[in-house]
Chain A
Amino acid sequence: MTRDLSPRATSLVLAFLLIAAVAAVTLVCAQLSGGSQRVATDAMIKLTIVVAMYMFAGNSGVLSFGHISFLGLGAYSAAWLTISPSIKASLMPGLPAWLIPLELHPAAGVIAGGLLAACVAFVFGLPLTRLAGIAASIGTFALLVIFYATFSNWTPVTGGQGSLYGLPIFTTLPIAAGVACLTILAAALYQSSAAGFRLRGSREDPIAAKSVGIDTRRERLVAFVISAFFVGMAGALYAHFLTVVVAGEFYLKLTFITVAMLVIGGMRSLTGAVAGTLFVTLLSELLRQTERGFDLGFVFVGGRLGLQEVGLSAAMLLALIFRPRGITGGRELGGLGTSR
């Protein structure tokens, strides 16, 4: 069936199917208890992050360890724009004078978070996209450390090691799911666009791509900025979900979890990004329940702190060894791939 359709149409069908799946999950979860809804909302935010990371990593072949910095930027933008002026003045006295009296609607914070992340991605992307292969991944890791050190030490502006509280609750399950669907649509449109094809061409064979006039740096930069935009939005949503912003959130742990989602699902397909998020969320929920310990009726099996992370990293290693291209093997749902 894919033969009859243009790449764009194929991609849109794929996006439609994935969005339908996300919507179905959302509808089911909306009927569940508050606790399960929170888990689902958290998963939708992660889905946004992973799909956005896929836009860059999947199409360029360069794995990024720095995207969680963009999440942090989005979260801090939300804090800077939506916390009430009186709290802001005491928590973040170092903010520029014009920012302190602002108290915008959370939606404005979400857009601003995306834009700030995109601008920062552009500035850092200019040198970063000069790097190839493993050096590029290290560069993104350097980004993560630089931003973490800044978030956790620039106390007058970010609250440093303390937490910024007083963010309005905004991120409900439908909103988080909506943004996730929007990101899936954007990823589908991007990967079927001419720019997406050029970037994948440079991923498959950088030298051949160069020889047909593809400017790999430029294409990578475009993907980097777009993906940072969506991660930034997710960051603001995350801040309005937790209602606090703490620097420690935006470092190795979340980086590990999101990279695990992408790698386990299959880094080279949009379906992989979605499937990986779903799989890892279910697995870590299961492990979290076990970690608490459970009652077998006749005997109580005590849990162990750390079990969740141990199980997750073991799953990731198994996936890397036995399914190096992820559970989807880099294919799209129903063979709707344009990425071959």
Chain B
Amino acid sequence: MIVLQHILDAINIGGLYAMMALGIGLIFGIMRLINFAHGEMVMAGGYALGLLATLPAPLAIVLSLAFIIALALLIEQATFRPLRGQDPASLLVASFAVSYFLQNLTVMIFGARPLPFSFAPGLAETIEIAGLRLPLLQFVSLGLVIVALAGVATLLKHTALGIQLRAAAEDVVTARLSGVKVNRVIAFAFVISAVLAWVVSLIYSAQIGQLSPAMGVRPLIIGFVATILGGLGSLPGAALGGFVVGAISVLLDAALPASLRPFREAFLFGLVFVILVMRPEGLLRVRALQERV
């Protein structure tokens, strides 16, 4: 039974990380931007949901989703578009700055102290199935993860824009030569990643039960590990990386002695370090990280 519980945990956490990793990986694939500000998308989604919690749920969902998408597009237009084509390190610094900006803007508006997250409080209830006591949230998040990942896969595989997006992620120059409108595709990628961030924000805020300006940093950092694990720029790799990181962190939680458990993050990033050095192409593929000659 306890094994089953761990497996469920791993899938749940892994799904969350997979969505983070996809959100980061989508944008890296197209514009070589490691989007540090993706964590703040999660934070902004959480705040939007939390503030709209008094409205009827469907309305709150639609409004907060619209807000996140608008925010993502605004950031893309205002900062990343003028910087496009600069070297990845400058882009990384810029996204670092955007992340810091949004975090502290939130401090300015809502203060640095955590706020309670009260959207859909029913999620915290537990149900008992076959001796396992599971919070309802686990099922909801499992469902959301499946729907979101399947949705993204369908979009990318079967819509014209999605195919163009994958083409641009493969090779921007050739894609542009073949008539792909890069601006549209990049905006599309930001919209998808914003929606993924919104799903994460719903699940994550409900899990931790509060909102704080820096709440996006942790999921970002772990999603980041997953992206590297899967090979930066590979989308299936990012999703797989998310689940692998989920499994690893559940394993570390279960296997590490209590005194070493706080060091989980050190182990995860030690893993990043090792992977970068030993296998920079990630688990799946060989291309994106090689600098072209």
Chain A contacts to B: CB under 8 angstroms: 62-63, 127-128, 130-135, 137-139, 142-143, 145-146, 149-150, 152-154, 207, 252, 256, 259-260, 263, 304-310, 312-314, 316-317, 320-321, 324
Contacts and interface: CB of A to CB of B under 8 A. Distances in A.
B76 to A, nearest CB: 13
A71 to B, nearest CB: 18
A153 B262 contact: yes
B273 A139 contact: yes
Contact of A321 (B83, B112, B264, B280): B83
Interface stretch (B2-10, B63-71, B85-93, B164-172): B85-93
Given A134-B88, A321-B79, A256 B100 contact: yes
23 contacts: A63-B89, A63-B92, A63-B93, A128-B273, A131-B280, A133-B291, A134-B88, A138-B272, A139-B272, A139-B277, A142-B273, A146-B266, A149-B264, A256-B97, A256-B100, A260-B97, A305-B107, A306-B112, A310-B101, A312-B100, A316-B94, A321-B82, A324-B83
B269 A313 contact: no
A134 B31 CA distance: 13
A320 B90 contact: yes
A145 B108 contact: no
Contacts of A135: 276, 280, 289
Nearest to A126: B277
Interface in B271-293: 272-273, 276-277, 280, 289, 291, 293
Contact of A320 (B32, B97, B108, B270): B97
Nearest to B100: A313
Contacts of A252: 217
A201 B161 CA distance: 42
B96 interface: yes
Contact of A306 (B104, B266, B280): B104
A127 B265 CA distance: 20
B221 interface: yes
B149 to A, nearest CB: 25
A139 B276 contact: yes
Interface range, B side: 35 or more
B111 interface: yes
Given A149-B266, A306-B108, A310-B101, A259 B93 contact: yes
Contacts of B217: 252
B290 to A, nearest CB: 8
A34 to B, nearest CB: 27
Contacts of B272: 138-139, 142
B105 interface: yes
Contacts of B111: 305
B101 A313 contact: yes
Interface string B28-44: 00001010000000000
B276 A131 contact: yes
Contacts of A256: 96-97, 100
Nearest to B280: A135
A323 B79 CA distance: 13
Contacts of A308: 104
Contacts of B104: 306-310, 313
Nearest to B271: A142
B139 interface: no
Given A134-B88, A260-B97, A320-B97, A310 B34 contact: no
Contacts of A324: 83, 86, 90
